[in-house]
Amino acid sequence: MIADSFGRVHDYLRISLTDNCNFRCFYCMPEEEYDFTPASRLMQTEEIIKLAEVFVANGVKKIRLTGGEPLVRKDAAQIIAALGKLPVELVITTNGTRIAEMLPVLKEAGIKTINISLDTLQPEKFFMITRRDVFHQVRSNIELLLQHKIRVKVNMVVMKGLNDNEINDFISWTKHNPIQIRFIEFMPFSGNKWTSNKMFSLDEILSVVEKDFTVLPVKGEPHDTAKSFMIPGHEGSFAIISTMTNPFCDTCNRMRLTADGKLKNCLFSDSETDLLTALRKNEDVLPLIQATIWSKKKALGGQLAGDFEKIDATTIQNRSMITIGG
């Protein structure tokens, strides 16, 4: 069992396979020229498996693979296949571009839920956000997952003046499709030029949805990051991840392992622990894991507590989102 000083047991591990991505979304990547981590500094396949085994042996029940874009890694299929043999729930967050070619591997590994990042339903806006003309490919791959009875959650980062006018378009998508739309409050990270006036809050999102739909709350699970809702007559549902205005830190059970083998005990933590170097020296990494989680702050890495409108994003000590792994 891996626990922190506040009694929170951590049984959910997010592993970033790479900081590389075939998209260039501004809210995730720094605007300046970005140098991806050299392959030699990334966790190798066998290292990912070894570290995952340590976590699983100490109570981890769920592993999520993230990036960058995890499926652009050349040995992604090998990693997914190996992790699929562990006694955990294995899930993945992806931009959806490589789903069709990777589908047999994903199914063989027992993946039953996939999160797809999609911030707009408009092809032109999709190109503006991602700098890639693959909107229809992503939509087609979502349909493919549904055909194969794989649960789909669509992650949409809501940004004022950019895509907040599409909230109810996403809700309408759930009418005849068994998907969950997850509206995410825009969060500050290194290089993404976050300001509070770009953020669209939980209350604002609900206000927009309730103008056109009847909204009913859904009782969540103890460790849910999202507040869930349903609309009568809709096959799908929606949820809101309100990290900035109504965080879920009290029941947090998540740990993050970056692609270069650093353990972060919070998405917003200003420190991290190098597990990869210790592993390569044949040192026992479990004490490092336990000490890192024990030192976890009570909320939001100790950096974002208080009124979000007063947050100065330039003072936050953290990585960019793409190097953390979401």
Annotated binding site for [4Fe-4S] cluster, which residues?
21, 25, 28, 249, 252, 266
State the pLDDT at residue 232. 98
The identity of residue 151, as a single letter, is R
Strands 179-185 and 273-274: unpaired
Q: At what angle do helices 135-147 and 123-130 cross, to 10 degrees?
A: 110
CA 34 to chain centre: 21
- Rounded Cα distance, 204 and 285, in Å: 44
- Rounded Cα distance, 244 and 232, in Å: 28
Positive or negative, the Cα torsion across 43, 45, 46, 52? positive
- Rounded Cα distance, 78 and 293, in Å: 29
Residue 40: C-alpha distances to residues 37, 155, 207, 261, 277 (Å)? 8, 31, 48, 12, 12
**Which of the 8 DSSP states describes residue 314?**
G
**What is the per-residue pLDDT across 204-220, written as a single tens digit (0 to 9) for each?**
999 999 999 999 999 98
Residue-by-residue pLDDT tens, the chain, 326 positions: 999 999 999 999 999 999 888 888 776 665 556 667 788 889 999 999 999 999 999 999 999 999 889 999 999 999 999 999 999 999 999 999 999 999 999 999 999 999 999 999 999 999 999 989 999 999 999 999 999 999 999 999 999 999 999 999 999 999 999 999 999 998 765 555 645 568 889 999 999 999 999 999 999 888 888 999 999 999 999 999 988 887 778 899 999 999 999 999 998 788 899 999 999 999 999 999 999 999 999 987 666 655 656 655 565 555 555 566 65
**What is the per-residue pLDDT across 100-117, written as a single tens digit (0 to 9) for each?**
999 999 999 999 999 999
Positive or negative, the Cα torsion across 185, 201, 217, 9? positive
- Rounded Cα distance, 310 and 117, in Å: 28
**Going by C-beta distance under 8 Å and a sequence separation of 6 or more, which residues neighbour residue 292?**
263, 265, 272, 273
State the pLDDT at residue 272. 93
Annotated binding site for GTP, which residues?
14, 64, 93, 153, 254-256
State the pLDDT at residue 31. 57
State the pLDDT at residue 203. 95
Residue 31: burial class (beta carbons within 10 Å; 0-12, 13-18, 19+): exposed
Annotated binding site, which residues?
14, 21, 25, 27-28, 64, 68, 93, 117, 153, 187, 249, 252, 254-256, 266
Annotated binding site for S-adenosyl-L-methionine, which residues?
27, 68, 117, 187
